Amino acid sequence: MNPPLAIVNTGLVTSVGLSAPATCAALRAGLTNPSETRFFDSAGELIMAHQVPLEAPWRGRKRLVAMASMALAECLDGIPRHEWARAPLFLCVAEPDRPGRLDDIHDDLFTELQEELDAEFSAQSLIIPHGRVSIGSALVRAQQLVTAGAPFAVIAACDSLISGPTLSHYDREQRLLTPANSNGFMPGEGAAALLVTCDMHGPHPLCTGIGFALEPNSIQSEEPLRADGLTQAVRLALAEADIEFGHLDFRIADLSGESYYFKEATLAMSRILRTRKEQFDIWHPAECIGETGAVVGLAMFAQARAACLKAYAPGPNILCHASNDAGERLAAIVRYPPR
């Protein structure tokens, strides 16, 4: 990215914390907080999920708005609300064809979010409906606008897989983690926000490279998985960041429990790594917050920022990568420059 984007502030609302510091502390400690939902799986067992403890039992779009407004208010704390109108908001949401997705997200979610916050954002704001890889498109668009003169850009996400139609679909596909199925994910929900600028003067992690690709053998395919898409995305991100894979210190991924995506991550790394590394940790926030769809991409960047600023990251060069069920693949390089 030219110039890189600085990650200045974050906001997080998850099942393990209603703020970024609380959530990131829980992620660092490996804490988790699943609870029973009101939905049953095909075996008659209550489905477990990572549910956000809100002050009222809101559902549907109202719940998404409540979570997103909390994350945005935290992320933009200290910036006068009248200045928010100068900044674009890129709102990451679920893919249009994801089972159980609310039909009216594009029409009403953005408007209701502004009303909840009693604020307006730039007319250049967009909704980005690519699920777990939405963060990549949002970062690229944000970089374009702040380079063109926007003082800062805001990236937010809100999503929930805890609904009857969504859970029923994934239960039928045997993709939920249940007592009878270990090869699955535990659904979750939440919201996240990132404040980004091109200001290189503060102690901020920098997103220096992004790569996109398509995986021809997605999770629905019956063809052998070769991880071509993720491999290409990582190589593109490395090239843009001008860094070799061997210089990366650890990675953060959207892995949520399904063996397909763990296998893909392993294959991609084995195809790229050419020098021996004694240790190359992989962090996956979904282990603590569940499968949160579009939120996990921003959660990865928030976790990277917290680890860098609090000096518990294994090193300053981080690979973040994500995949969605449609075959879209994203990789990004985050670097914490020495001060």
- Considering the domain architecture, whether residues 180 and 238 belong to the same structural domain is answered as no
164 and 66, same domain (yes or no): yes
Tokens (6 digits) for 221: 């395919």
How many whole angstroms separate alpha carbon 288 and alpha carbon 272? 28
* Boundary (domain end) residue, out of 135, 166, 197: 197
* Structural domain span for residue 281: 206-335
DSSP one-letter code for 225: P
At 68, give phi and psi (nearest 5°): -65, -40
Q: Which two tokens stand for residue 31?
A: 């804490």
- Cα–Cα distance between 132 and 331 in angstroms, integer? 11
Token duo for residue 323: 């995949």
pLDDT at res. 54: 95
Whether 185 and 210 map to the same domain: the answer is no
What was the pLDDT predicted at 339?
Answer: 63
Residues 161 and 304 in one domain: no
121 and 36 in a common domain: yes
Residues 9 and 140 in one domain: yes
Q: Domain tally for the chain?
A: 2
What's the CA gap between 292 and 212, in Å, rounded? Answer: 21
Surface-to-core class of residue 269, CB atoms within 10 Å of its CB (0-12 exposed, 13-18 middle, 19+ buried) = buried
Instruction: Choose among 264, 327, 335, 329: nearest CA to 301.
Output: 335
Choose the final residue of a domain: 175, 197, 219.
Answer: 197
Alpha-carbon distance 96 to 83, whole Å? 31
- Residues of the chain below pLDDT 70: 1, 339
Confidence at residue 321, expressed as pLDDT on a 0 to 100 scale: 98
- CA angle 20–60–118, rounded 5-degree value: 60
Residue ending a domain, among 155, 176, 197, is 197
Cα–Cα distance list, 22 to 4, 186, 295 (Å): 27, 21, 16
| Ranges assigned E (strand) in 50-172 | 89-92, 126-128, 153-160
Q: Quick check: 127 and 110 in contact, CB under 8 A?
A: yes
Q: Are strands 189-197 and 5-13 parallel, antiparallel or unpaired?
A: antiparallel
- The neighbouring-strand residues paired with 6 are 197, 206
CATH of the domain at 18: 3.40.47.10
Identify which of 311, 297, 335, 327 has the alpha carbon closest to the alpha carbon of residue 221: 327
pLDDT for residue 71: 98
Q: Which helix (H) or strand (E) holds 106?
A: none
Please count the other Cβ atoms lying within 10 Å of the Cβ belonging to residue 82.
9
Q: Mark whether 28 and 156 lie in a shared domain.
A: yes
User: 319 and 171 in one domain?
Assistant: no
Residue type at 178 in one-letter notation: T
CA atoms of 29 and 92, how far apart (whole Å): 27
Can you tell me whether residue 227 is helix, strand or coil?
A: coil
pLDDT for 107 equals 73
Do 277 and 253 belong to one domain?
yes
Indicate the pairing of strand 250-253 with strand 317-323.
parallel
320 vs 318: CA distance, rounded Å: 6
Binning the chain into helix, strand and coil, the percentages to the nearest 5 are 35, 25, 40
Q: Do 177 and 233 reside in the same domain of the chain?
A: no
Amino acid in the structure at residue 146:
V
| Residues 158 and 98 both lie in one domain | yes
| H-assigned helices in 186-294 | 228-241, 259-272, 286-289
pLDDT of residue 1: 64
Same domain for 283 and 237, yes or no, is: yes
